[in-house]
Structure 1
Amino acid sequence: MKNLKRHLLIAGACLVAWTHAAWAQFPDKPVTLVVPFAAGGPSDKIARDLAEALRKPLGQTVIVDNTAGAGGTIGAARVARAKPDGYTLLVHHIGLATAPALYKKLPYNTLADFEYLGLINDAPSVLIGRTTLAANNLGELRKWIAESDGRVNLANAGVGSASHLCGLMLQNALKSKMTTVPYKGTAPAMTDLIGGQVDLMCEQATNAVPQIEGKKVKVFGVSSTDRLALPALAQTPTPTLAEAGLPGFNVTVWHGLYAPRGTPPEVLARLNAALRAALKDPDLIKRQEALGLRIVTDARLAPSGHKAFVQAEMERWTQVIKDSGETAE
């Protein structure tokens, strides 16, 4: 019996040593970043820029794979069920934190089924409107909304999208109920806003800046606590919505990196180190800033800080969504 125990201990020690040695070689094949939205959107753009920046610190090709549908929940579920070896990762935005309140049933547990690797960026939104609106600033807009008696059409890119969430917060802050008009994506919503079929949209700066530059829409304010340092907004200084009369208004669309639950600690450490290195890449920083995005450099870049932040966002948005009554099936 003693010999058997000794042999088992030796075998266990050998297995642990072999496991550590095996993961020390990670990654030895391409890594896939799953984006739970269609190609061409802001999350896809961010993931592709990140993939290029991760290639050098990981020493491997990084592939972007779009798995769209159900407000991002299909792609998230795919990663939650993936083999926990670090080769299948998720790039997701604020929707990961709002999905539990928006959907009655989710095929994953947001806090339990993922390993949190670090936040990537913050993306402020801008409140924009059709060019034919009589209002030219937030004060005039608030008066026009109040006089419209609920007949204001507020576009969004679908349930759970950045524009949907920002719109909910806007109605809450204004204490005004608008008619929300959901679209199947940002492009058709923006097309109708430019064409004057809808009145307003609270959209991520990444998508709105080209329309502002082309003077195809009016801009009323920035959703973050700081003004955007972009040429398109520098020509006509645009206040934050908080400055313009909505104290405390702060909505940013952030993106984070996740692995399936159970991914080995050695792999998680390697991925977090690679993420930190990628976010210092000058080319990545330049491309992100050109879109109005801010690279995360604070405690949220650490796995523990990232998870704590997402949990706080879940609590914050649950009440907003509950008050709005706008949920998905």
Structure 2
Amino acid sequence: MRSLLHHTLPALALAVALIPAGAHAEDFPVKNKTITIVVPYAAGGPTDRVARDLAEALRKPLGDVSVVVDNTAGAGSTIGTARVARATPDGYTLLLNHISMATMPTMYRKLPFSVSSDFEFLGMVNDVPMTLIGRPTLPPNNYKELSTWIAQNKGNITLGHAGLGSASHLCGLLYQSAIKVEMTSVPYKGTAPAMTDLIGGQIDLLCDQTTNTTGQIEAKKVKAYAVTTLQRLRTPALKDLPTLDESGLKNFQVTIWHGLYAPKGTPAAVQKKLNDALKQALKDPEFVKKQEGLGAVVVTDGRIDPAGHKKFVLAEIDKWGAIIKAAGSYAD
């Protein structure tokens, strides 16, 4: 018996070692296992909201498994993003992130991961316009008046953002560059605290995604001045806002996008199941309605496929790299 085991056990060990990593991918997802979508920003922010709507829309196409959102905020989204890069590549830990995936490679001198090589690209989710808004007590009532007010208050204007490399930070950089006025930058640990201080009058301006600003604009808790698209938006609460382009800042355009990612090495069969589920989720009438209500546009083009998603992000890395270098915004 000992002789038999002596010869059999090594053979069994070798056979197990030779089983492909994705051999059991056909079982994905297991009913009693939770899929976690990591959002690398604070709860209550725009990306968090998109993630929670997406998690709900993904449950049915994934076989009614539990899909939850976990906020791992900090360091301009690098902490949460690094967490997913290090996660077990089995499809149960995913990342939802926005344009930060394109700006981090230039924004940070050292990153604990590579955007291009440490992730599997599962598909884009949406495109989100941005809005330039102000505190409720700000004197200007429209963009023309705001331009005059900014010219008269140079050196005394505060512009909040959700942290280095965040969507609001990038929009703020471009806006200051476009109008050639430098404002006092006030960073926060997420959009929610920045919005709280804007409503409370602690900061003057904020340029943020419609997913986070539409409700505040509707409730008249902030003053809305312009949108960052080349055409006006059709969302009821925002349809009367002028574009910055028509207001004199020609070709000013900032649109924030969100994409879904898995750790590098996630089995191809699991990636396909996740991409198939994502495509179904993006057609969910309730999800589409929620996104449209926030001014976001659900992706329907080639970026919904992994190859198209990755090609787009790599091009965005080049695009934003030049902008960030020109602005001189870096972090260690």
Q: When the two structures are superposed, what TM-score results if normalisation uses the length of structure 1?
A: 0.89
Q: Are the equivalent residues in 1 in contact too, given 2:134–2:222 (CA < 8 A)?
A: yes
Cα offset, 1:280, TM superposition: 0.5
Q: Which residue of 2 aligns with 1:51?
A: 55
Q: Deviations over 1:59-101 (max 9, x none)?
A: 1222222222212111111111112222211111111211122
Q: Are the equivalent residues in 1 in contact too, given 2:22–2:267 (CA < 8 A)?
A: no
Relative to structure 1, the CA distance from residue 182 to residue 19 in structure 2 (aligned partners, 3 Å threshold; closer, same or farther) is closer
Given residue 46 of structure 1, which amino acid in structure 2 is its aligned partner? V
Q: What is the rounded CA distance, in whole Å, between the counterparts of 1:211 and 1:64 in structure 2?
A: 23
Cα offset, 1:139, TM superposition: 3.3
Q: Verify: 1:309 aligned to 2:305, yes or no.
A: no
Q: Which residue of 2 aligns with 1:113?
A: 118
Q: What is the rounded CA distance, in whole Å, between the counterparts of 1:190 and 1:35 in structure 2?
A: 18
Q: Verify: 1:241 aligned to 2:244, yes or no.
A: yes
Cα offset, 1:19, TM superposition: 6.3
Cα offset, 1:192, TM superposition: 2.9
Q: Which residue of 2 aligns with 1:87?
A: 92
Extract unaligned runs of 5+ from structure 2.
Answer: 1-10
- For residue 36 of structure 1, the aligned residue among 40, 43, 46 is 40
Q: Are the equivalent residues in 2 in contact too, given 1:172–1:320 (CA < 8 A)?
A: no
Q: Which residue of 2 aligns with 1:25?
A: 27
Given residue 54 of structure 2, which amino acid in structure 1 is its aligned partner? L
Q: Deviations over 1:187-233 (max 9, x none)?
A: 33223323333221111112222222222322111112332222222
Cα offset, 1:21, TM superposition: 5.4
Q: Which residue of 2 aligns with 1:292?
A: 295
- For residue 234 of structure 2, the aligned residue among 229, 232, 237 is 229
How many matched pairs?
Answer: 316
Q: Which residue of 2 aligns with 1:197?
A: 202
Q: Which residue of 2 aligns with 1:178?
A: 183
User: Residue 112 of structure 1: SS of its match in structure 2?
Assistant: coil
Relative to structure 1, the CA distance from residue 263 to residue 138 in structure 2 (aligned partners, 3 Å threshold; closer, same or farther) is same
Q: What is the rounded CA distance, in whole Å, between the counterparts of 1:20 and 1:208 in structure 2?
A: 42
Q: Are the equivalent residues in 2 in contact too, given 1:139–1:245 (CA < 8 A)?
A: no
Cα offset, 1:300, TM superposition: 0.9
Q: Verify: 1:328 aligned to 2:308, yes or no.
A: no
Given residue 28 of structure 2, which amino acid in structure 1 is its aligned partner? F
Q: Are the equivalent residues in 1 in contact too, given 2:171–2:208 (CA < 8 A)?
A: yes
User: Residue 231 of structure 1: SS of its match in structure 2?
Assistant: coil
Q: What is the rounded CA distance, in whole Å, between the counterparts of 1:311 and 1:19 in structure 2?
A: 27
Q: Which residue of 2 aligns with 1:218?
A: 223
Cα offset, 1:255, TM superposition: 1.0
Q: Verify: 1:206 aligned to 2:211, yes or no.
A: yes
Cα offset, 1:175, TM superposition: 2.1
Q: Which residue of 1 aligns with 2:257?
A: 254
Q: Are the equivalent residues in 2 in contact too, given 1:31–1:61 (CA < 8 A)?
A: yes
Regions of 4+ moved over 6 Å: none
Q: Deviations over 1:29-57 (max 9, x none)?
A: 33221111222222222112111111111
Q: Which residue of 2 aligns with 1:99?
A: 104
Q: Deviations over 1:263-301 (max 9, x none)?
A: 122111111111001110111111222222111111111
Q: What is the rounded CA distance, in whole Å, between the counterparts of 2:255 and 2:25 in structure 1?
A: 36
Cα offset, 1:142, TM superposition: 2.6
Identity of aligned residues (%): 59
Q: What is the rounded CA distance, in whole Å, between the counterparts of 1:150 and 1:282 in structure 2?
A: 47
